Amino acid sequence: MNTTFSCVGCGKCCTDHHVPLTLDEARMWSDDGGQVIVLVEAFLPNGLGLPTAQREHAERRSTVVHSGTTEAFVAITFAAYNAGRCRNLDEDNLCRIYERRPLVCRIYPMEINPHIPLDITRKDCPPESWETGPQLILGGELVDRELARLIERSRQADREDIALKERICALLGIRTTALKGDGFTAYLPDMAAFAAALEQAPRQPGQQTGEWQFHVSCDEVANQVQASGARVVTEAPAHYAFISLRAA
Ligand code: SF4
Ligand code: SF4
């Protein structure tokens, strides 16, 4: 696929999109008074929840935790909670924190996950944005080296931050994950508690953080997870939402 691209400043990618943040960016977002959403998914060592081709990438951005009699690879995303317009988007659709905007805002419309190719039909950018500007993709390859560097920085942060994010979740009482591909569990932590956990977690390196359990979409998935040795939650969610990825 070849395409040119030029952002036309429509502001759509800054509206109703939770923006994944590095740990440093989550700290900045919190210090600025913004809300963070925590999204959690995991897969199991026997491959449940994971296409084989994605294993290397998924393993690198996850951390090994305990669940029942097995281990699980849990991936945790801290994202700017943008229900409606981002708090930093001004009336002219300009970013008020442009110089220090998160990495993902700089990378859009490109993907971070190397297994997801750019599909312009799934992006918010209007048709005209793909018709002008410099070459973005040529022969299937990203042309902009600076953009490629930002994507690699984002992947690197995913790998470096995950252990600390898991400890922050422990401090916040976040212990229920979804099965990758089946959904996400989503938490909206109290931001004073989130800021305190950000402070406290680095002071507890190597500390055991406790067991995780799985929230799944249906009995069939529950049976598969349990047969793999992991613990499945049975009570109704009290402090999180389950976002199913399965067709209703
Ligand atoms: S921080 Fe700026 S660029 Fe990022 S979503 Fe908000 S307004 Fe858009
Ligand atoms: S949706 Fe695309 S064109 Fe619109 S502001 Fe975002 S990057 Fe620019």
Mean pLDDT by 10 residues, the chain (248 residues): 91 95 97 97 93 84 96 97 95 96 96 88 94 90 93 94 95 95 95 96 80 94 97 82 78
Residue nearest to atom 4 of ligand 2 (CA): 10
How many Å apart are CA 87 and CA 11, to the nearest integer? Answer: 12
pLDDT of res. 245 = 81
pLDDT the model gives residue 116? 86
Ligand nearest to the CA of 127: 2
Which of 124, 130, 132 is the best mutation target for the ligand 2 pocket, counting ligand atoms within 8 Å of the beta carbon and taking the most? 124
Give nearest CA residue, ligand 1 atom 1: 101
For ligand 2, the distance from its centroid to the CA atom of residue 37, given in whole angstroms, is 22
d(CA 58, CA 74): 9
The CB of 87 under 6 Å from ligand 2? The reply is: no
pTM value is 0.94
- Closest atom, ligand 2, to C-alpha of 14: 6
pLDDT of res. 1: 74
| Paired strand residues for 185 | 40, 242
> What's the gap in Å between 75 CA and the centre of ligand 2?
27
Which residue's CA is minimally distant from atom 5 of ligand 1?
14
Top mutation candidate among 3, 13, 120, 132 for ligand 2, by most atoms within 8 Å of CB: 13
Pocket lining: 104 vs ligand 2, CB cutoff 6 Å: no
Q: Which stretch of DSSP H or E encloses residue 86?
A: none
The pLDDT value given to residue 66: 96
- Best mutation site among 89, 92, 106, 154 for ligand 1, i.e. most ligand atoms within 8 A of its Cβ? 89
Provide the β-strand partners of residue 184: 243
Q: How many CA atoms lie within 13 A of 154 on its CB side?
A: 23
Read off the amino acid at residue 234: T
Q: Is 103 in the pocket of ligand 1 (CB under 6 A)?
A: no
Single-letter amino acid, residue 222: A
State which amino acid sits at residue 39: L
Q: Collapsing DSSP states into helix, strand and coil, what is residue 64?
A: strand
User: From ligand 2's centre to the CA of 13, what distance in Å?
Assistant: 6
